[in-house]
Structure 1
């Protein structure tokens, strides 16, 4: 069954940023990216779904779809729509950050180079947080290989052939040995399965609400063995589009700060945190521009 949604891309939309983010796995296990189309597989409400979005530099309307291998309930339809907004980077409006740093001597010049830059998110909060756990303290290419292994072990294949990123209930059925036999460290495998088990059992609620704020969810995550501040902040950024995540522990953020400030050494974590505090409540967008500053000039 197919659900269709009319989504409007805003002025200054940078389709290339979105396509690059989703094309990091060159083997196209759960994502398929062409210059004008994004297809992504994800498990939603126990149903394999492929999200499709025809992309172009905005502004303008596009027709996005979710192709479900199961009943298209109203709840699933809403989750498909939410996932599409996530993967298209439409949660955080970059305008307030640009206004806030317009006269800032450090961040202002970076922001003016890429005024339409947005934070692209994972399709679901669970995907964002598991990706953060998988990617912590290892290089990107190895993290992508581990992510691929995780999808192939815990995910399910859509009828179109694309694999779907797993939900917590799928991941919780794995064993540590199944992961460690495929290059996961024991600590990373245990943390991943510990987190998945808590979500699958309902002991950890990832749905934000009046009695379960994002800040509260972050505190609950920090209490899980193996999950630290970087993992929480990165997961909140990619999962919820939370506007004020401080990525002061991120190596690339600190490298970008070094380049921006000059000097022979990267700022340490405490100094990076101090520098980023001046951009509250827009530290997520600050991180996005710092990451982008390390890429080749467009």
Structure 2
């Protein structure tokens, strides 16, 4: 009887599935959409991008202030329709921080690491899910606000076939996604939601302003290598003097992302929760 019962019990036990990247990605996909803050932050980001873009487009060319930081108001119709990019960057960056640092704040990271003891696949899965979702949403929102914004501007608007327009719109989606990845990397590196959001805001917004005020003229060329300036370089339709080329801007901005994510991967691998 004992032998028969043991065999019956063994037959009902499901074979253990090995942890692989595909299963970790599936798990992260479920976690990503099961958190209410994900939906709220995505909606806020899209509303900021579209709302400010349409507002600036309605003011462009009529003599009103077209919006944007003082001294950086959009001078072309494409820039006007994408005025909300800076606001959306902060929202997508915050989402990136929440995706990673949120687990440390709630303690859920312990369960995640227990399920994925090698740790790094957990980070790669989060990055993969975040990149796919955010780039898709950002690209759709950028395309919509550009098309609607040019319709609002009217005869002075740009079209998709104009030189640099498609690159600017797609580049905006890339910039927003990259800002989110910076937030995700900072969240994993600092493990503090307030600290990571503050650092992201300082790096992407305040650093360029401080540099413009304090950096000597002899070092002014170095400002173009800051993350915000490099991001602007590959999303601008026309290149201003003293700025990087679109390809160089993309390379520099991507380098910052790689550095932050690399540091985050090192800490996740080396340090305890």
Q: Normalised by the size of structure 1, how large is the TM-score?
A: 0.28
Higher relative contact order (CA 8 A, sep 6+): 2
Q: Select the structure that is richer in helix.
A: 2
Structure of higher CA gyration radius: 2
Q: Normalised by the size of structure 2, how large is the TM-score?
A: 0.30
Q: Select the structure that is richer in strand.
A: 1
